[in-house]
């Protein structure tokens, strides 16, 4: 569904449910991270792009509460905005509640609104469906109150919602790209300075394919916090503020002072930060074989050193490698937090159909699971479609 079709659909659902047309329509995309994994909370670089999958909200003024109707699950959340917004039910409403509370903290009065909501970002697939929902909510508040905030502030507000209301200690990547993505571009984000650079990706000869393994292993959330702690430990042993400040040489010298596991975690992060800036250079020069090799190297480090991959993700990467450059695949890696979710593959545009069929068939044969595969051009970040 294009964004136009999707927003038309949500507007029609609003009309059906609330009996009048919406006054505002807003959208925010999910993302796929091309490279730079588990580097954001180490002050490193990330290189994500917004994808053509969106959270969309259609809304009008309401009578008392902030009411959100999820048009897919046919479930409503009624959020009391007469005082400070608190955590509550249903569970998914906490992403919205957290954002509303963030605006209240900045002195913004949240209006009573009727909202219809739908998302085409696969849930729990590692494509930042929660960041899309948070940034979509923030964009709706901006549209409805006329009080816009600086994009960096907006992304940080959404990240805080995820920390405080969903209990996920995420970095800043997902909310930044959902806020600041630009059509035809990847976003090179320096997570220390929060400076962004748009890296054009318009070469029609290549495409990024997202391969959803359709598995999500539960251990993910606890392991994420554990990885963060291990990185902090490595930084403190190395005597640096964060792993961004450490070099591979320093790490080798200090190897004896840390456990083997902490050493490997740091080796991934230090290597990945370097790979990310090299990949951005490769993309600027349309050096696709080089970018592809960096993606594979990223995957191996995430699999062997950082240990956040899983059998299904590894299977997709192995299939991609077996197709090879001759078959049209430059590179492939797991993307996002890991423990399931998606891989991203850099492929020759002319071979997309053949590659998708081959990956789907082989993956099914090896795992007995149906993968979901789609291509996406780099999409734009959060937008006000109407209002
Ligand atoms: C999740 C987090 C991000 C980032 C990635 C790993 O998606 O939300 O902040 O840490 O994992 O790169």
Cα(140)–Cα(383) distance, integer angstroms:
9
Kindly provide the b/e burial profile for residues 298-315, where b requires at least 16 CB atoms within 10 angstroms of the residue's own CB.
bbebbbebbbbbbebbbb
Which letter does DSSP use for residue 204 in this model? T
Positive/negative CA dihedral, 57, 61, 66, 68: negative
- Give the angle 338-128-36 at the CA atoms, nearest 5°: 55
**Site to substitute for ligand 1 among 125, 174, 243, 273, most atoms within 8 A of C-beta:** 174
- Whole-model pTM: value is 0.97
Cα(314)–Cα(125) distance, integer angstroms:
16
Kindly provide the b/e burial profile for residues 59-68, where b requires at least 16 CB atoms within 10 angstroms of the residue's own CB.
bbebeebbbb
Cα(227) to ligand 1 centroid in Å equals: 11
Give the pLDDT confidence of 227-274 residue by residue, as tens digits: 999 999 999 999 999 999 999 999 999 999 999 999 999 999 999 999
**Site to substitute for ligand 1 among 31, 36, 40, most atoms within 8 A of C-beta:** 40
pLDDT for 220 beyond 90: no
**Residue minimizing CA distance to atom 2 of ligand 1:** 170
Which of 109, 277, 272 lies closest to 189, judged by CA? Answer: 277
CB 181 within 8 A of CB 187: yes
CA of 131, closest atom in ligand 1 = 8
**Site to substitute for ligand 1 among 172, 295, 307, 337, most atoms within 8 A of C-beta:** 337
Cα(169) to ligand 1 centroid in Å equals: 9
What's the confidence (pLDDT) of residue 124?
81
CB 309 within 8 A of CB 315: no
Give the pLDDT confidence of 53-69 residue by residue, as tens digits: 999 999 999 999 999 99
What's the confidence (pLDDT) of residue 217?
81
What's the confidence (pLDDT) of residue 218?
72
Cα(309) to ligand 1 centroid in Å equals: 13
**Residue minimizing CA distance to atom 9 of ligand 1:** 171
| Average pLDDT rounded to a whole number, residues 307-330 | 98
Ligand 1 pocket check for 378: Cβ under 6 Å: no
**Residue minimizing CA distance to atom 8 of ligand 1:** 170
CA of 46, closest atom in ligand 1 = 12
Ligand 1 pocket check for 38: Cβ under 6 Å: yes
Ligand 1 pocket check for 174: Cβ under 6 Å: yes
**Which residues are the active-site residues?**
174
116 contacts: CB under 8 Å, gap ≥ 6:
10, 11, 13, 14, 17, 18, 22, 57, 58, 59, 68, 69, 71
Cα(230) to ligand 1 centroid in Å equals: 15
Give the pLDDT confidence of 178-194 residue by residue, as tens digits: 999 999 999 999 999 99
- Residue 155, CB-side half-sphere exposure with 13 Å CA sphere: 22
- Six-digit token pair at 7? 């927003």
Number of C-beta neighbours around residue 370 at 10 A: 12
């Amino acid at each position: 569904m294009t964004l136009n079709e999707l927003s038309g659909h949500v507007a029609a659902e609003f009309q059906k449910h609330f009996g009048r047309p919406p006054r505002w329509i807003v959208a925010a995309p999910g993302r796929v991270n091309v490279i730079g994994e588990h580097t954001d909370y180490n002050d490193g670089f990330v290189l994500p792009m917004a994808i053509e999958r969106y959270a969309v909200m259609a809304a009008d003024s309401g009578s008392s509460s902030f009411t959100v109707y999820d048009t897919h699950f046919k479930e409503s959340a009624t959020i009391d905005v007469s005082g400070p917004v608190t955590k509550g039910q249903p569970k998914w409403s906490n992403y919205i509640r957290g954002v509303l509370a963030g605006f209240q903290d900045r002195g913004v009065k949240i209006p009573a609104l009727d909202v219809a909501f739908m998302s085409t970002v696969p849930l729990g697939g590692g494509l930042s469906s929660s960041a899309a929902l948070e940034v979509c909510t923030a964009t709706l508040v901006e549209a409805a109150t006329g009080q816009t905030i600086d994009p960096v502030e907006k992304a940080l507000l959404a990240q805080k919602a995820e920390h405080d209301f969903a209990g996920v200690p995420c970095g800043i990547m997902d909310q930044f790209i959902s806020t600041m993505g630009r059509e035809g571009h990847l976003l090179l984000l320096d997570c220390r300075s929060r400076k962004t650079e748009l890296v054009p990706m318009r070469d029609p000869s290549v495409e990024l394919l997202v391969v959803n393994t359709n598995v999500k292993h539960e251990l993910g959330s606890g392991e994420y916090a554990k990885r963060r702690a291990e990185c902090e430990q490595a930084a403190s042993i190395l005597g640096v503020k964060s792993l961004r400040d450490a070099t591979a040489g320093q790490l080798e010298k200090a190897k004896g002072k840390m456990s083997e596991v902490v050493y490997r975690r740091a080796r991934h992060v230090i290597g990945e930060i370097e790979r990310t800036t090299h990949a951005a250079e490769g993309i600027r020069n349309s050096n696709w074989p080089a970018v592809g090799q960096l993606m594979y190297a990223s995957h191996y480090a995430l699999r062997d050193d950082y240990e956040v991959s899983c059998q299904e993700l590894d299977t997709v990467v192995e299939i991609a490698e077996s197709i090879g450059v001759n078959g049209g695949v430059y590179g492939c890696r797991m993307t996002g937090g890991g423990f399931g979710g998606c891989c991203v593959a850099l492929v020759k545009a002319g071979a997309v159909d053949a590659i998708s069929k081959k990956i789907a068939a082989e993956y099914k044969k090896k795992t007995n699971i149906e993968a979901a595969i789609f291509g996406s051009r780099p999409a734009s970040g959060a937008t006000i479609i109407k209002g």
